A and B are shown apart, each in its own frame.
Chain A
Amino acid sequence: MIGRSLRAFPTLLRVAVADMVAYRAEFLIWVLTTNMPLVMLAVWHRASEDAPVGRFGQKEFAAYFLSTVIVRLMVQCWVAWELTMDIRQGTLAMKLMRPIHPVLAYSAEQLAAIPMRILYLTPVVAVLVYAAGEKIAITDPAMAAIFVLSILGAWLMTFVIGVMMGTLSMFLQSAFSVFDLWMALHSVFSGYLVPLELFPPWMRTLADVLPFKYMLSFPVQTLIGMETQEQALRDLGVQWMYVVVLTLAARALWQRGMKKFVAFGG
């Protein structure tokens, strides 16, 4: 099963990339919806005109929020919607018939979006380098390695959670509300709206424990050199622990869901 899937994977990726290219205008619109960090950048830029807020001056805010756009778009995925739709409309049955695990097929679809996103992100990266180039910390090889691993970990966490949220709709009618709640918590505790260190202490402690930080803020802060190497290594440990735990949980949930799944029609 695994060997066969791996052999099919490059083809799956090629098909998914072709699909992405065909709908490039639509895809661009999706990319443009991730504009909140840029608005927050404008707001904080104005607020730090006269004096920095904590460690954050205008330049740090620029580096932080531009990197947030970059990381968010790299790890974003919509597998939860795809899976929910496939379950509701019964099209999952078709995917289950194929000799390849549906989750693996979804992962190919999601991964295929990354090259296209990188293409759309080039202007953001250019502005980042121009506006706050010296803040980018990945010139140090150790930090560069940590950054790459952190992006990979963040992507895996986001994907696995997407699969879990999608699978929930096999059990719950209002699974979408659970996902909505998750997104609400994510936008606060991942550092998407506000750098986590500007929170009051109790919220920062909470953010350290919750998974959201490791899906966004941690790679961002590593990229712009706001984490020491020691801190970054500790965060990397926590992140990959989350990856393992979440993957096991998703697997268990999927297997239980499969026993319940019933599709109508064909």
Chain B
Amino acid sequence: MGARYLRLFLLQLQMSAATAMQYRFDFLVEGLMALVWIGVTLVPVLVLFDARTSVAGWTFPEALVVLGFFTLMKAVLEGAVSPSLTAVVEHVRRGTLDFVLLKPADTQFLVSTAKFELWRGVDAVGALVMFGYAFRELGRLPSPGGVLMALVLVLVSLLVLYSLWILVVSAAFFVVRVDNLSFLFGSIFDVGRWPVTIFKGPLRWVFTFIIPLALMTTYPAMALLGTLAVETALAGVAGGVVFTVLARRIWLRAIGNYTSASS
């Protein structure tokens, strides 16, 4: 069972790679654009820390670690999660989801692995460069325990990110036009580039509990920097797992609601 899905996953990945290689020039252009956008995300951070040595207790290299995790998450979101799931919305709108439903594999798995944008790898490399630079500035290395904790948190965050997207897509079964909802999601996700403790009051609460951006960028960064309490990390992991289970339930419900557009 597991082996079959792994094979299926690799096959889907191979298809995406083959498609990407057909449009080599586009691949190059998109890769360059990813670099440009990394530059754009750096600008406000550089200006801010040019004016201040620390904001809400965060120094430049520390904030850069958060930005690194943000860039990494964004690479996954825009490279692996949103292209496939945008395709689902199109399937629902046109009624072609029928063909996917008929296939002898889990529908959520099939639609989630339908498309990968491989040039987003540039973002992942950018994130690693940011980590490298930040820790050189700090003049120390993260502790092995910190790295482990950060890895666990990143994995949980990926689950949460994916689940959030599944929820947005589930909405497509009820309201059909959610392409703009995905833009809204993207614009809110942008907040994750800032350490959550910079925000005060309700804003911080929202980005910790309702839309858990803190879990995705600030907590892994704090883990890597060695400032995250173990209890916080555990609470984050538990919350993430509950959230994922809930999202799967909602997806199953939503797909039960699907009626073909026409055939």
Contacts and interface: CB of A to CB of B under 8 A. Distances in A.
B184 A47 contact: no
B191 to A, nearest CB: 5
Q: Main SS of the interface on chain A?
A: helix
B70 to A, nearest CB: 13
Contacts of A184: 33, 36-37, 39-40
B58 to A, nearest CB: 10
A46 B191 contact: no
Contact of B184 (A33, A42, A174, A199): A33
A43 interface: yes
Nearest to B37: A184
Contacts of B188: 35
A132 to B, nearest CB: 18
Interface stretch (B42-50, B142-150, B220-228, B250-258): B42-50
Contact of A33 (B40, B187, B194, B203): B187
A63 B38 CA distance: 28
Given A30-B180, A174-B26, A177-B30, A42 B47 contact: no
Contacts of B51: 47, 53-54, 198
Interface residues of B, number: 33
A144 interface: no
Contacts of A26: 177, 180
Nearest to A39: B191
Given A47-B55, A53-B52, A174 B25 contact: yes
Interface string A214-247: 0000000000000000000000000000000000
Contacts of A54: 51
Interface string A156-195: 0000000000000000011001001100100110000110
A46 B199 contact: yes
Contacts, number: 77
B199 A187 contact: no
B199 A42 contact: yes
Interface string B168-193: 00000000010011011011101100
A177 B33 CA distance: 7
Nearest to A27: B180
B105 interface: no
A193 B198 CA distance: 17
A26 B171 CA distance: 14
Contacts of B26: 173-174, 177
B99 to A, nearest CB: 23
A33 B29 CA distance: 26
Given A39-B190, A184-B40, 20 more contacts: A29-B180, A29-B181, A29-B183, A30-B183, A32-B184, A32-B187, A36-B190, A42-B198, A42-B200, A42-B203, A43-B48, A46-B55, A46-B198, A47-B48, A54-B51, A174-B25, A184-B33, A187-B40, A198-B47, A198-B51
Interface of B: 25-26, 29-30, 33, 36-37, 39-40, 43-44, 47-48, 50-52, 55-56, 177, 180-181, 183-184, 186-188, 190-191, 194, 198-200, 203
